[in-house]
Structure 1
């Protein structure tokens, strides 16, 4: 093989100032690719979609110049202006780029200087030659499991330009599956493994008892570790914001809302809720205290437990302390969670005496032993006996993608596949690839090739990976324990990143391929993950800027160079694929008597809306199971809610017992072996989607001293001499970051809030332990599996200390292009 390395809020108020496009706006039109910005004509308006909702893109003088929400959006996100800036961001990747040391010396060269080296612009032909040559080399030298294609992240919506599926499709077809895949996700990694054992379903991504039913029937609405007024601004598909009108309706009823959270959230303030400031990571203990009160005072629903659950009798000895000598009383719980015992007892009586909906966030399971939280929540709801009743029970997705918005009678669009086969009994998984790991264990894999690991009752071995290809994600922001990750990444010979911005991840790459934004290509998608209220034509707003190419075009070219173009494309181009997806919806419409127009009519209109049905407005989760558990059993071995799981018992894991259990995390606020005095709450940010839009002008609306804001309680600030607006250093044994102090009483003493998703900007790139100049919370978090069962991430497990920063403030470099970029 030749060596290729030897050569070189009112809709109009949304966009006040949005046409000021930052540094990119001063570039002359000649810097744009020839013919760019003509998709909508020199002037025009294009309806398209995003994670933040549908919107109208305004094109003026050949540029994407303004943005207004779609008229059908009941609550447009205040993050929409960031979309426009993302297209013209100063951090936009303009050309194919290769790290100089890598280009001159080949794979494995100077891996310790990744993140600090300059880049060299190359042609697309050269870049793709390097990519394909390296894919082949790694397969030949290291076998079918030498490449990791487990790209993960909130890719753009769209049924065709699913970059993760396209990557795996190219490797599955072009390299005969010579890559390592991954399973699970960072959002719900623990729950999506434990819930099938408990309820026979994933649960976390399924429709909830709908909001009209909640408004009418729920007396006590509990938001436990979730902030839906914040997180429902976004969706995996195109957000419909269908829950927001019901938030208003529930508020008007004056019924009780309780928020259990270390921070007074946007949701708590909107509902004027009773705020219970629990200590982080102690939710299971508090739930056990409520459960003990219910049991001790004979307030639990014994009949429901008898008929609809399995194993409560095996859980009771633990609850009462008979099995371990420690009754899980409200007083015991107070000592752990910091919530007064009287409050815990009052909650037990309130929940039992009223129709109660326990709405839980996913933060509870993104921590050490996270499997226990939702298992215990389901157990508590079972003791209340309201599961399957209108407005009662529990819900794990009210905060995600507007779960609970009534569903429309809509066809379901298919999408591009990764070329693998669906796994029997697990439709969300495929058999693509030569091997697979739990997603959050990527650093473990790099550090420990050949080591054995447990996962959900199985044992596997970590492969030796030498090449990682990442699309549609930003692991140098979303993965835990950044400094450990920096060192582990040096195990790779080659790191390829395909994206549209110079994210922290792209800056650590060897080969960088410039991809388009979702607004420089055509696609098709649903509006509303749960509501499915419309199908939208995601029309191209402008042509790709500079030398960006669509993910489809990039992987088509890679497949062609691997001799598999025909198999990859199935003889369809972009519009051919989109039309084929839509025609499947037409067939479903004919079968279900749904009015679905022909493709040309739909594409010309830009959107097709569907009617919400009466059944959609009255859906109650688990109602059928409650009505007849014999004819409508759950997918568990017993067909019942499994409070005690014999399957988990057989696994014999020391960190995941057979019933929900309070287990000390590796560290927590006031924990028995905890070294640092403060907990770092890494909640979802309020002005971006994880790390998306951090690299845009939207950051100016929330940054403090140009850095990620850090909420700190007044008492904690006073004792450390920290004032509002100061730059602070947050630190522990894993890392150190700078942030901007926001001193407030809206967070529990002993807790700092540093939202996840802030872009990593090390003062000394490539050096583990470097001070992060901007505020990446994952410099501080723990990178261990939740347990041997799920091996999920512990992004909410972190303790640290904070001090006022008094040195010379280092430059933040991550929001511009790197050297020669």
Structure 2
């Protein structure tokens, strides 16, 4: 007998699509999704090929089947089967031993995105650790650290976006490093298509001719990676010298643009005007100056600036790719600058730049206990927390909450995540650290598959997929809905959902009553979370109706325009900055006294492993990654059907390939000081000269000690953090490429 079950994808895909699973004889036999809406502003939560193939990814014969403990050297992938009782006992013993020997700050839960439902593994285990005295936590994410930290220095908040329905009111949309066609950036792509139908011109700026540029852009402008701020500086120069900038807006709402509107006590020559005109350094930031840096023709830069200033309202929307560079904080702040210069802040059809978060409906959240241990590190620096945690400081390493850590990291809990090895930068360095058992003494992993990270577990547990447990899915960033994940089938083999086995662990620790809130089942917990949300969102239906319908799309949606209140009533609604105004010049950044890396104004800085790095003589090509449509980060890599959707290849320009004797389809070696990768070459005119690119997320497959055969980009990425956010500079990498074997024989 067939039955249809409504569920949703809970991995870290921005799409958050509706999945209709057909179940027969306890097996998912077919998947369908919501049909696209033809009219109106209701967004269709329609699955892309990733969603349609969820069952083939998550319910395959490659699943982990039972708990295991390591028997070989860490990382060898040698395990033996154990019972769940034995696994829980070992975990409890190590948990207690490390807590008593090293203290609360020795325990760390790794960043993970394999399950992003409300009841997600890392939130649950953090809850248990908090009840048990605390743990070392992290802040930021791998995705958006630089813009999250940098944007508030301009606006006082990261909530700088508009409701996406307002894009139709733009006269021009510029997408800078924004690729929602492949990343599924919430429902962004749907609204961009609606804007295009309404006649809005769209320009895509990207080193690579992305699917977004191909599918919806009227024009593609190729740019060298890490030079976004130089482009904006030159655009600003054009606006200023041609008097196309909004002087009234700048004078009324901003500080730091010119010398007449600077904070008190700041010496002359520190304004943004002084910078772009060359009054301070003698170098006007002309389009010709920017051409040498960005690779964009000077005339094109001039015309782009004029078109942006003349098309009001206009939206300059920066994706998160540009801020995942060694100078990413500057890219983020520069996008706010150009919006301010044109008065596109606080208006429908405009865009204030920066991170672009919005205020919308309340979102359901797991009620995690307060962590008694106050220490936090940047999420990108957990490997440093292992090797030199007690030496980390606030100024140099971004340590928060404590003056110093009381221990290095001695226990890592990695649930539904591949950051432990595959998704963290400089894989070879990471592996060397993890292999040394005198450093991190215990690693616990729960996963569906034997991922590159799972191979480094001391105890490895089989988790459940979205089809095998209930959950609630919330919008990723944009979206007026919440979804319910109905359980479709029983857990495969001996797999268990994290809440299930964590209750067993909590019992061993004497914390079951608190952890389970008096013995709540998973469904009870989800209902509790939902009812808490209903107290604030009165429109929501009863829980049983919500479950039956597989979720709810809000009907009473308010339009949000960031800073509209400040623009309409500046006297009573100041900006949430120290000055109450938009801070083009930030006194807080100025006082850090690191002008070369962390300037007080948004401006181009060279960063490391970019076009101005001395290493470019040895490694002349810039390497970037992108979010491929065949994977969500590293999820779906085990699905051979998805592999056919897009090959794992190195994009290289025709000119760069010819210089190296490389033809399309040749096997090449990509290398730098950190390692090397063997991968097939894709010779194309769809990427600019001097840049190579490969999809991120391929599972690391070493041949020997350092050469990867799968095209796992993090073999080559740097673990050096960005200067301000201490964030992930994943797209700032210098490499060389050589031919390994020719398809011609």
Q: Taking structure 1 as the reference length, what is the TM-score of the superposition?
A: 0.82
- The answer to whether structure 1 residue 487 and structure 2 residue 432 are counterparts is yes
8 A Cα contact 2:333 2:354, kept in partner? no
Matches of 2:590 and 2:354, distance apart in 1 = 25
159, 178, 182: which one aligns with 1:226? 178
8 A Cα contact 1:100 1:120, kept in partner? yes
Classify 1:364/1:602 alpha carbon distance in 2 versus 1 (closer, same or farther; 3 Å).
Answer: closer
8 A Cα contact 1:167 1:418, kept in partner? no
- The answer to whether structure 1 residue 417 and structure 2 residue 346 are counterparts is no
Matched with 2:60 is: 89
Q: Deviations over 1:661-702 (max 9, x none)?
A: 322121224645423121111122122111111122244314
Matches of 2:128 and 2:728, distance apart in 1 = 28
Classify 1:636/1:698 alpha carbon distance in 2 versus 1 (closer, same or farther; 3 Å).
Answer: farther
Matches of 2:193 and 2:306, distance apart in 1 = 27
Decide which moves more: 341-350 or 563-572: 341-350
SS of 1:382 mapped into structure 2 = helix
Matched with 1:653 is: 594
Matches of 2:59 and 2:625, distance apart in 1 = 29
| Superposed counterparts of 1:616-631, under 5 Å | 616=559, 619-631=560-572
Decide which moves more: 485-494 or 505-514: 485-494
Q: Deviations over 1:646-668 (max 9, x none)?
A: 11222223521211232212122
Matched with 1:32 is: none
703, 713, 724: which one aligns with 1:777? 713
Deviation at 1:621, TM superposition (A): 2.5
- The answer to whether structure 1 residue 730 and structure 2 residue 670 are counterparts is yes
297, 300, 308: which one aligns with 1:343? 300
Matched with 1:759 is: 699
8 A Cα contact 2:33 2:46, kept in partner? no
Matched with 1:60 is: 24
140, 154, 172: which one aligns with 1:184? 140
Matches of 2:45 and 2:130, distance apart in 1 = 42
Deviation at 1:608, TM superposition (A): 3.3
SS of 1:145 mapped into structure 2 = helix
Matched with 2:163 is: 210
8 A Cα contact 1:520 1:541, kept in partner? yes
Matched with 1:666 is: 608
Matches of 1:807 and 1:115, distance apart in 2 = 33
Deviation at 1:733, TM superposition (A): 0.9
Matched with 1:540 is: 487
Q: Taking structure 2 as the reference length, what is the TM-score of the superposition?
A: 0.90
Matches of 1:527 and 1:287, distance apart in 2 = 31
Matches of 1:599 and 1:762, distance apart in 2 = 49
Matched with 1:319 is: 276
Deviation at 1:703, TM superposition (A): 5.4
Classify 1:672/1:413 alpha carbon distance in 2 versus 1 (closer, same or farther; 3 Å).
Answer: closer
SS of 2:22 mapped into structure 1 = strand
Matches of 2:198 and 2:440, distance apart in 1 = 57
Decide which moves more: 722-731 or 247-256: 247-256
8 A Cα contact 1:477 1:759, kept in partner? yes
8 A Cα contact 1:418 1:432, kept in partner? no
| Superposed counterparts of 1:156-195, under 5 Å | 156-159=115-118, 161-173=119-131, 175-177=132-134, 179-195=135-151
Deviation at 1:485, TM superposition (A): 1.0
719, 732, 735: which one aligns with 1:797? 732
Matched with 2:289 is: 332
Classify 1:435/1:670 alpha carbon distance in 2 versus 1 (closer, same or farther; 3 Å).
Answer: closer
Matches of 1:440 and 1:461, distance apart in 2 = 18
Matches of 2:65 and 2:658, distance apart in 1 = 47
Classify 1:725/1:61 alpha carbon distance in 2 versus 1 (closer, same or farther; 3 Å).
Answer: farther
Deviation at 1:97, TM superposition (A): 0.9
Matches of 1:436 and 1:187, distance apart in 2 = 18
SS of 1:549 mapped into structure 2 = coil
Matched with 2:444 is: 496
Classify 1:214/1:759 alpha carbon distance in 2 versus 1 (closer, same or farther; 3 Å).
Answer: same
Deviation at 1:145, TM superposition (A): 1.6
111, 117, 135: which one aligns with 1:152? 111
Classify 1:800/1:44 alpha carbon distance in 2 versus 1 (closer, same or farther; 3 Å).
Answer: same
- The answer to whether structure 1 residue 597 and structure 2 residue 541 are counterparts is yes
Count of residue correspondences: 707
8 A Cα contact 2:141 2:380, kept in partner? yes
Matches of 1:585 and 1:122, distance apart in 2 = 40
- The answer to whether structure 1 residue 446 and structure 2 residue 406 are counterparts is no
347, 363, 382: which one aligns with 1:389? 347
Alignment root-mean-square deviation, CA: 2.3
Deviation at 1:245, TM superposition (A): 4.2
Matches of 1:649 and 1:374, distance apart in 2 = 17
- The answer to whether structure 1 residue 353 and structure 2 residue 293 are counterparts is no
Matched with 1:118 is: 78
8 A Cα contact 1:148 1:181, kept in partner? yes
SS of 1:154 mapped into structure 2 = coil
Matches of 1:379 and 1:84, distance apart in 2 = 45
Classify 1:432/1:790 alpha carbon distance in 2 versus 1 (closer, same or farther; 3 Å).
Answer: farther
Classify 1:464/1:670 alpha carbon distance in 2 versus 1 (closer, same or farther; 3 Å).
Answer: closer
SS of 2:352 mapped into structure 1 = strand
8 A Cα contact 1:682 1:754, kept in partner? yes
Matches of 1:461 and 1:89, distance apart in 2 = 46
8 A Cα contact 1:169 1:568, kept in partner? yes
Classify 1:487/1:527 alpha carbon distance in 2 versus 1 (closer, same or farther; 3 Å).
Answer: closer
Deviation at 1:505, TM superposition (A): 0.5
Q: Deviations over 1:360-416 (max 9, x none)?
A: 011111111211111111111111122112212334567xxxx88x96xx6x45332
Deviation at 1:229, TM superposition (A): 1.8
- Where in structure 2 are there 5+ consecutive unaligned residues? 37-43, 259-270
Matched with 1:636 is: 577
Decide which moves more: 121-130 or 522-531: 522-531
Deviation at 1:324, TM superposition (A): 2.1
SS of 1:66 mapped into structure 2 = strand
Q: Deviations over 1:107-126 (max 9, x none)?
A: xxxxxx42224111111111
Matched with 2:244 is: 299
Q: Deviations over 1:473-522 (max 9, x none)?
A: 21112211111111122232221111112111001211101111121011
SS of 1:634 mapped into structure 2 = coil
Deviation at 1:223, TM superposition (A): 0.5
Decide which moves more: 494-503 or 578-587: 578-587
Deviation at 1:254, TM superposition (A): 4.1
8 A Cα contact 2:142 2:728, kept in partner? yes
Matches of 1:191 and 1:310, distance apart in 2 = 20
8 A Cα contact 1:758 1:777, kept in partner? yes
- The answer to whether structure 1 residue 143 and structure 2 residue 103 are counterparts is yes
Matched with 1:467 is: 411
Matched with 2:530 is: 582
Matches of 2:227 and 2:253, distance apart in 1 = 28
Matched with 1:108 is: none
SS of 2:601 mapped into structure 1 = coil
Deviation at 1:542, TM superposition (A): 0.6
8 A Cα contact 1:526 1:532, kept in partner? no
8 A Cα contact 2:339 2:353, kept in partner? no
- The answer to whether structure 1 residue 549 and structure 2 residue 549 are counterparts is no
Matches of 1:285 and 1:529, distance apart in 2 = 28
Matches of 2:58 and 2:391, distance apart in 1 = 43
Classify 1:134/1:263 alpha carbon distance in 2 versus 1 (closer, same or farther; 3 Å).
Answer: same
